[in-house]
Amino acid sequence: MPTGKTYEALRADVEKIPVIDTHEHFRGPDSQEAQKEPIKSVTSGYVHSDIMSAAGEEAAAMLQNGEIPTEKKWPVFQRAWAKMEHTAYARVTKLILKNEYGLEEISLEAMKGLAGRLLNLRDKKAFEAMMDRYGIRCCLANVWLDWKKFLSGEASLHERMRVLIGLPELHAVRTFEGVQRVAGYIGRKVTCLDEYAACLREFCTRMKARGAVGMKDQSAYGRIIAYESGGRAEAEKLFGFIMDDPRRSIGYPAGKPLDDWIFHELMRIARDLELPVQIHTGHMAGIRNDVTKTNAAHFRSVLELHRDVKFDLFHGNWPYAGDWLFLGKNYPNVALDCCWLHVIDPRYARRVLADAVSAVPHSKIHGFGGDYGALEFACGHLVIARDNIAAALAEMVDDGWIGMDEARQVAADWLFNNPNEFFTLGFEPVSV
């Protein structure tokens, strides 16, 4: 924990600033998991990845099995925990235990004592009360829904959530079935690439009318985020290949020209509908993936070509901080988003935010997104995010670069005003 008078004063002020959370994976109370077994409950979310990395996938899977009793899991948990309890993912678990259950020490007795009194965030009142307690005014949600039901009004999100259009399934076209599934969201069938592009435009238009505030893409998990724009003929050929025979499929990287062309088409739709686009860059959830393909630097050509589209580059591009700061500084249509970052690597987050104060216009930073499926984990993350923001700004105040009042206003802009304006959410701006 950082210390010092400047930090202490700023930390207290940052606590009071309301938050627009730019990235979550829950719809509201109805998507919160009803937890029964305490170890499973407190080791879900990203901490699971650190357990896999330190203690192996078998141990991690056992801890996430809700059918195995706490007592039986305990020795496995204890051994795993001893190997990784100092990471920020584990710190979120500790914060949940402390702040939600009053537990400072983890013991078998303490864990067994949680059974029967685990948080029930499926309860709407409890869910909203927790959001209020942590000052979360609104969350942008990257969720998976039956979009046909969503568009017809049969399915919806909690009123504090704002939905995003998930892009990967729209452009990573592999099969005839995949194409028709997307077309089915608006009750159509598709026979050629032009019809598919028209479908995407209509789908996005209807999504915007139903409240979508942007688009979100996490294709970096499966492919390099370099998109070429000139491959219309090749794209058409690949599309025809799967249209001509529903039993065919295209793999990666063979399907990349089609994927790339549709992605650019989606950027034209984003421009016309004035929808900002969130892009996964940097570190990925889980283990054993290739991070080099996710560097935001690969996305440069899209940023330069689609100048009328606003892009929100995620996760601090971890571990490529310099590229991330460059893109935010250099391109007027780019914002830098710290979602997930505060618990991937808190010290990196502090450094990059302190650097950003003097390197990047402060209007271009989005300070927090939880990036969890469960609200209590997002709230634990928010505690660390507030620590990091206060620490980064305190460093710049102590360096004599900015004053205390300026630091407070920057914090309010990072946490609330910038995302409010960027995603045109329409809340009253916060001034401190």
Residue 214 CB, nearest approach to Zn ion (Å): 14
- Residues 105-134 within binding reach of Zn ion (CB under 5 A): none
C-alpha 328/C-alpha 313 separation (Å) is: 9
Residue 294 CB, nearest approach to Zn ion (Å): 13
Amino acid letter at 19?
A: V
> How many chain residues are in contact with Zn ion, going by CB under 5 A?
1
Sign of the CA dihedral running 205, 208, 214, 217: negative
Interacting stretch for Zn ion, rule CB under 5 A, among 184-192, 293-301, 302-310, 363-371?
A: 363-371
Q: Per CB under 5 A, does 37 bind Zn ion?
A: no
Residue 142 CB, nearest approach to Zn ion (Å): 6
Q: Per CB under 5 A, does 100 bind Zn ion?
A: no
Residue 365 CB, nearest approach to Zn ion (Å): 18
Interacting stretch for Zn ion, rule CB under 5 A, among 225-233, 371-379, 393-401, 402-410?
A: 371-379
- Measured from the CB atom, is 258 or 339 closer to Zn ion? 339
Q: Per CB under 5 A, does 337 bind Zn ion?
A: no
- Measured from the CB atom, is 265 or 371 closer to Zn ion? 371
In 3D space, the residue among 86, 87, 104 whose CA is nearest the CA of residue 95 turns out to be: 104
Q: What long-range pairs does 231-236 form, CB within 8 A, spacing at least 24?
A: 231/257, 231/258, 231/260, 231/261, 232/261, 234/258, 234/261, 235/193, 235/260, 235/261, 235/262, 236/193
Say how many CA atoms lie within 13 Å of 250 toward its Cβ.
27
Q: Per CB under 5 A, does 323 bind Zn ion?
A: no
Decide: 404 and 10 in contact? Cβ < 8 Å.
yes
C-alpha 135/C-alpha 129 separation (Å) is: 10
- The SS3 assignment for 54 reads helix
Q: Contacting Zn ion (CB under 5 A), which of 13, 21, 100, 371?
A: 371
Decide: 312 and 422 in contact? Cβ < 8 Å.
yes
C-alpha 431/C-alpha 151 separation (Å) is: 36
Say how many CA atoms lie within 13 Å of 230 toward its Cβ.
1
Q: Per CB under 5 A, does 395 bind Zn ion?
A: no
Decide: 48 and 60 in contact? Cβ < 8 Å.
yes
Q: Per CB under 5 A, does 21 bind Zn ion?
A: no
Residue 49 CB, nearest approach to Zn ion (Å): 13
- Residues 213-252 within binding reach of Zn ion (CB under 5 A): none
Interacting stretch for Zn ion, rule CB under 5 A, among 14-22, 167-175, 244-252, 368-376?
A: 368-376
Q: Per CB under 5 A, does 24 bind Zn ion?
A: no
Residue 218 CB, nearest approach to Zn ion (Å): 7
Interacting stretch for Zn ion, rule CB under 5 A, among 58-66, 82-90, 364-372, 392-400?
A: 364-372
Interacting stretch for Zn ion, rule CB under 5 A, among 49-57, 259-267, 370-378, 409-417?
A: 370-378
Strand partners, 311: 277, 334
Please identify the residue of the shown chain whose CB is closest to the bound Zn ion. 371
Q: Write out the residues near Zn ion by the rule CB under 5 A.
A: 371
